[in-house]
Amino acid sequence: MLLIDNEATASVLRMPAVVDALERAYRDLAAGEAVCRPRIDMSFPIDDRSTYRWGTMEGGSAASGYYAIRMKSDVLTYTEYGGTRTQEKHCVQPGTYCGLVLLLSTRTGEPLAILNDGVLQHMRVGADSAIGTKYAAREDARVLGMLGSGGMARSHLEALLTVRPLERVQVYSPTEANREQYAREMAEQHGLEVVAVDGPRDVFRGADIVAGCTDAAADVVIGDWLEPGTHVTCIGGRPDARARQRFDAWLRLGTAPAPLNDPTWRPTDEYLSYAARPDDPVRDEHTRGTVRRPPEGPDGPRLVALEDVLDGSATVRTSDAEITFSERGNIQGAQFFAVAGHVYEQCRERGLGRELPTAWFLQDIRD
């Protein structure tokens, strides 16, 4: 069994491979070769500002032979920063985090690896947005409007460059030094024109793609600022009500399948949430605007499933003037077996990772 840290993952994982692994996982889901469940969160109040949250997501594939469960352990605190309400996370102390992926074989049951999830997490989220952009953005999209300047904003730019030949990025985040640093680093790394702008409104002007990659617990994609033909993806913050009205097409990468023993139960929410002391006042601070689901009703945008796009029975964009939106759905569990399996194979091939005796994780007492 391998213990694979973020350094080893970063040395073997490349964005085109992540995009390819996720697309194969989504094809497996559509074909019934793979299965996953929605993310499940369990929350426990700590004090009047903070709560503890345990989250898991899991899935596997008969075709690939991998199964994975991703586990994360966070203390969440909401703060006001730069005039925006943001969600801060830590484990043990600010600046440290706990996220692990347990990878197993669906053929032998063997525990294969435990991986830190940091690098893998950033890259799989960026790759998701790239897949949505690949099938929903205009072919001639060249200008990216980026909201946020952290790790997700970096992985998103790398990912989007795998599906569109971007030429310009206009970035805004509340701290001027952070957005200026992002602009310098990304321009040098990718050979693009990257401009730090003075306000969020400037992100939208002339943008072909707008990406929300912030930690704001607020509306960040403003519908009145969207220009015709824009494609939108948003993994941090959220589109406001006007943006949801203006979306012409909504691409959903997938919805977790229903269980065999209850085929009518197929929630579309991004995650399912359970809470100790559900009436504790602190819970109100941690539930506002956090449940994401696709639009419903005849007045909403056209809802398009990726599996229908992949088999040729549907298209997302029908004209260059349409405003499109893409989001993952609740199939995170399928992402982790796909990407962690790839990382494991690469580390095995290159002799990376720390060996742990598999016998430590086996026993001779039947459960």
The predicted pLDDT at position 83 comes to: 66
Please report which confidence band the pLDDT of residue 86 belongs to, taking 50, 70 and 90 as the band edges: confident
Q: pLDDT, tens digit, for every residue of 151-197? A: 999 999 999 999 999 999 999 999 999 999 999 999 999 999 999 99
**What average pLDDT does range 67-81 have in this prediction?**
91
Residue 93 lies in a domain: no
Is 14 part of any domain? no
Is 167 a domain residue? yes
Instruction: Inform me whether the pLDDT recorded for 35 exceeds 50.
Output: yes
Largest CA distance in the chain: 64
pLDDT for res 81: 66
Annotate 228-294 with DSSP letters as a single string: TT-EEEEEESEE-HHHHHH-SEEEEEE-PPPPTT-TT----SSEEEEESSTT-THHHHTTTT-----
Question: Which CATH number fits the domain that encloses residue 193?
Answer: 3.40.50.720
The total domain count for the chain is: 1
Domain range for residue 319? 136-254+295-329
Distance CA 203, CA 234 (A): 14
Q: pLDDT per residue over 280-318, tens digit each?
A: 988 776 665 444 677 777 778 999 999 999 999 999 999
How far apart (Å, rounded) are the C-alpha atoms in residues 298 and 282?
Answer: 36
Residue 225 belongs to some domain of the structure: yes
**Is the residue at 8 inside a domain?**
no
Residue 183 lies inside a defined structural domain of this protein:
yes
**Residue 224 resides in a domain:** yes
| pLDDT, tens digit, 9 for 90 and up, residues 111-158 | 999 999 999 999 999 999 999 999 999 999 999 999 999 999 999 999
| pLDDT tens profile 56-69 | 999 999 999 999 99
**160 occurs within a structural domain:** yes
